[in-house]
Amino acid sequence: MSESIEKQAEVPADMDNERLDQVAAKLFPDYSRSRLQAWIKKGELLVDGKQVRPRDKVRVGDLLTVAARVEQAVSWQPQDIELEIIYEDEHILVLDKPPGLVVHPAAGHADGTLVNALLAHAPEMGQLPRGGIVHRLDMDTSGIMVAAKSLPAHYDLVEQLQARTVKREYCAVCIGVMTGGGTVDEPMGRHPRQRKKMSVLAAGGKPAITHYRIRKRFGHHTCITVNLETGRTHQIRVHMAHKHYPLVGDPLYGGRPRIPKGASDELVAALRSFPRQALHAQGLGLIHPDTGEEMQFDCPLPDDLLGLLDVLEREDPVVSNDSALY
């Protein structure tokens, strides 16, 4: 939920030649300095109708105007859920999400989510939109995520995602043997009949671009590296299924497990028992929202995916190796 804010104030004589962010904090005391700085950077707090920097000086008589939307603080409760934190400072938190953990409360998952865990770890995140969450991973997708710990960081990370400058790399195991890498540039949207699914849409979908390259071929499967240019819901799963290479373990887009003819008992058991879609967010690159530093984070493959690849290595004869598997 959010509400629209429209306010204005004139710079008085005793604040002449002070920094904009300092003056704004005095003229709009109901809002934190970090929120005001974020509005200034986004162009939602203007000086005489113009966007300036937080450190720029204002003069007596200048008119400060605010036209912004304020996200209400979340009402979710903190819960003591273990987090595997890769990096943390006062602005961002990077973590390795395990499979099976829902990112934020929704229908059917009122608690026990990543947001509940984050609120217990850093209670200040409860004052941020969506508890600091700026992007998602599906419940059964594992791997690296970043969350914001301050309002300016939240705005900045959202802008980076919208500008498609955040680099996201995944490891996936697909059914079928690919002949080469490529790009899927197919718009996506909600499935017209099955509302729990997303699909490629010839008309009315949002742009969705997925780049993939072969990591290793097996006899009946392919391990690929995937880079996202956009971040639509279920994008990798939908695009790979659209190319007729659905992910191993994906009941929504891959159907029942596909058992190769003549498969060993070990391979049959591995394919039938794999508990989720074989998808892991392995790499994340971004610009630090405060320092401007380019940052790259990597997250090792989880045990279940390593186990699946080990069985494929031994029981699904390799056709060719394109690069190191791990």
CB 140 within 8 A of CB 252: no
Of these residues, 21, 62, 96, 138, which one is catalytic? 138
Task: Please give the Cα distance from 226 to 281 (Å, whole number).
Answer: 9
Cα–Cα distances (Å) from 126 to 52, 80, 129, 139, 190, in that order, read 29, 15, 8, 21, 30
State the number of CA atoms in the 13 A half-sphere of 315 facing the CB: 19
CATH class of 165-326: alpha beta
For the chain, the structural domain boundaries read 2-71, 73-163, 165-326
If we measure between CA atoms, which residue out of 284, 271, 179, 194 comes closest to residue 234?
194
The single residue listed with the structure tokens 């969506």 is 130
Is position 80 annotated as part of the catalytic site? no
- The answer to whether the 2-71 and 165-326 domains have the same CATH topology is no
pLDDT tens track of the chain, all 326 residues? 456 788 899 999 999 999 999 999 999 987 878 788 889 988 999 999 999 999 999 999 999 999 987 765 566 889 999 999 999 999 999 999 999 999 988 767 778 999 999 999 999 998 888 899 999 999 999 999 999 999 889 989 988 998 999 999 999 999 999 999 999 999 999 898 887 899 999 888 899 999 999 999 999 999 999 999 999 999 999 999 999 999 999 999 998 889 999 999 999 999 999 999 999 999 999 999 999 999 999 999 999 999 999 999 999 987 555 444 44
CATH no. of 2-71: 3.10.290.10
The superfamily (CATH) of domain 73-163 is Pseudouridine synthase (3.30.2350.10)
Task: Please give the Cα distance from 49 to 226 (Å, whole number).
Answer: 44
